[in-house]
Amino acid sequence: MTVAIFGAAGQLGRDLVPRMAALDEDVIALTRTDGDFTQPLSIRTFLATQRPRWVINCAAYNFVDRAETEPEAAFAVNAVAVQVLAEACRAMGTKLVHFSTDYVFGRDESRQTPYREDDPPGPVNVYGQSKWRGEQAVLAASVGHLVIRTCGLYGVWGSGGKGRNFVETMLRLAAAGQPLRVVNDQRCSPSYTVDVAETTVELLRRDAEGVFHVTNTGDCTWYEFAVEIFRQAGLEPELTPITSRDYGATARRPAYSVLSTQKLTSIGLPSPRPWPKALAAYLKERGMKSTLT
């Protein structure tokens, strides 16, 4: 039996592919060249030919600010193509695992408790809206499909077309001696791709369906995350907390988008480790990788 992974060259896909060996499945690792989500009919043709047991979608349009000025591109990849994928999987009796985001939430500006899977979404930007539309398409296609929401991903393989993740950006700018201004009024749960990948494998082992939240536990602002990055890395750059308004990003971000992982524990799975411990593991892996490249 086989599992096809779209977006296999991205930071989450690169950590997920080798861990699928735990399920004794043959993996078809698909990059944008193999499965172009801007040409969704080609995806349907590929699936009809290969007929995998599972399909995992790590591919996405994830340029949050750019989506505000090119919404058609965001919806084409995150919603339209996902609907084609979900319906093709339903027609073949294939299970689809689709990754989504904490950015489907954020409209409730008074929120101070983690979002559960059954809380009503309320995205505040085009990217979040497109991802929410994709979720709806997956869940409407089949009750057996699985949607995994995660948050603030970082892994040693970078961040797809964006080239870097937040941790790498902070370390690069600090090494260059640049003063840093980091937003301190957006609270989330930054998540290590290794932990998300390993939990995904366990969800598949249990044939989970519906919506699950998978993030490292605990929460912080991006400024607090940066402080911990530099503490663990032994760096002392000039670091200043600022507001979202001061930063002036094109797209509005949620002030609070922490996701509850209690549903994982309800089916006997542990929540991923606290985010500071995950960060330490990332920095260790990053150091090991640098000695090999």
Q: Residue 41's domain is classified under what CATH number?
A: 3.40.50.720
Nearest CA to 250 out of 106, 64, 74, 71 is that of 64
From 127, 154, 223, 256, the catalytic residue: 127
> Which residues 6+ apart lie within 8 Å of 255 measured at CB?
106, 109, 111, 185, 186, 187, 244
In a domain, 179, yes or no: no
| 282 pLDDT more than 90 | yes
Residue 35 lies inside a defined structural domain of this protein: yes
Q: Structurally, how many domains does the chain consist of? A: 1
Examine residue 81 and state whether it is found in any structural domain, yes or no. yes
Across 40-61, average pLDDT: 89
Residue 197: give the domain boundaries. 2-160+190-217+259-274
- Segment 36-59 mean pLDDT: 88
- pLDDT greater than 50 at residue 61: yes
Beta bridge partners of 55: 4, 96
Across the range 133-139, mean pLDDT stands at 98
Q: Phi and psi at residue 127, in whole multiples of 5°?
A: -55, -50
Query: For residue range 229-266, what is the model confidence (pLDDT) as tens digits?
Result: 999 999 999 999 999 999 999 999 999 999 999 999 99
pTM to 2 decimals?
0.95
| Other CB atoms within 10 Å distance of the CB of residue 189 | 26
Residue 167 lies in a domain: no
Q: Which of 16-25, 27-36, 140-149 has the lowest mean pLDDT?
A: 27-36
Angle at 175 between CA 174 and CA 181, to 5 degrees: 15
In DSSP terms, 242 is beta-bridged to 183
Is 117 part of any domain?
A: yes
91 in a structural domain? yes
Judge whether 238 lies within some domain.
no
What are 167's two structure tokens? 């941790």
Mean pLDDT within 45-53? 87
Q: Is 247 a catalytic residue?
A: no
DSSP 109: T
From 35-39, 156-160, 221-225, 268-272, the region with the lowest mean pLDDT: 156-160
In a domain, residue 235? The reply is no
Q: Which residue has the tokens 């699985």?
A: 146
